[in-house]
Amino acid sequence: MPSDGGPEPVRYRRAVVADAPRLADIHIRTLLVTYRGIDPQEWLDSLRDQLREREERWRSRLTERTNEPVIVAVVEPAGIVGFAVGGPARKPSYDYDGELISLYLLPEHQRRGIGRELVRRLVGELVGAGFERVLVRVLTANPARRFYERLGAYPIGTTQVEVGGALLEESLYGWPQPREAFSG
| pLDDT attached to residue 132 | 93
| pLDDT attached to residue 164 | 72
| pLDDT attached to residue 58 | 93
**How far is the C-alpha of 121 from the C-alpha of 100, rounded, in Å?**
11
- Per the model's pLDDT, the better-predicted residue between 181 and 122 turns out to be 122
| pLDDT attached to residue 32 | 62
What are the pLDDT digits (tens) for 25-46? 898 777 666 656 555 566 555 5
Size of the chain in residues? 184
| pLDDT attached to residue 3 | 43
Sorted by sequence, the CB contacts under 8 Å of residue 161 that are 6+ apart come out as 137, 139, 167, 168, 169, 170
| Cα–Cα nearest to 155, from 145, 165, 163 | 145
Residue 127 CA: distances (Å) to CA of 15, 21, 137, 147, 165: 18, 28, 18, 20, 35
What are the pLDDT digits (tens) for 93-121? 788 999 999 999 998 888 899 999 999 99
| pLDDT attached to residue 48 | 66
**How far is the C-alpha of 129 from the C-alpha of 157, rounded, in Å?**
25
What are the pLDDT digits (tens) for 121-180? 999 999 999 999 999 999 888 878 889 999 999 999 998 888 777 788 899 999 999 988
How are beta strands 134-139 and 96-105 bridged, if at all? parallel
- Nearest 5°: phi and psi at 88? -65, 150
Mean pLDDT, to the nearest integer, of 7-32?
88
| pLDDT attached to residue 166 | 72
> Angle at CA 183, nearest 5°, toward 182 and 184?
115
Mean pLDDT, to the nearest integer, of 59-68?
92
Domains of the chain: 10-181 (3.40.630.30)
Is the pLDDT at 6 greater than 60, yes or no? no
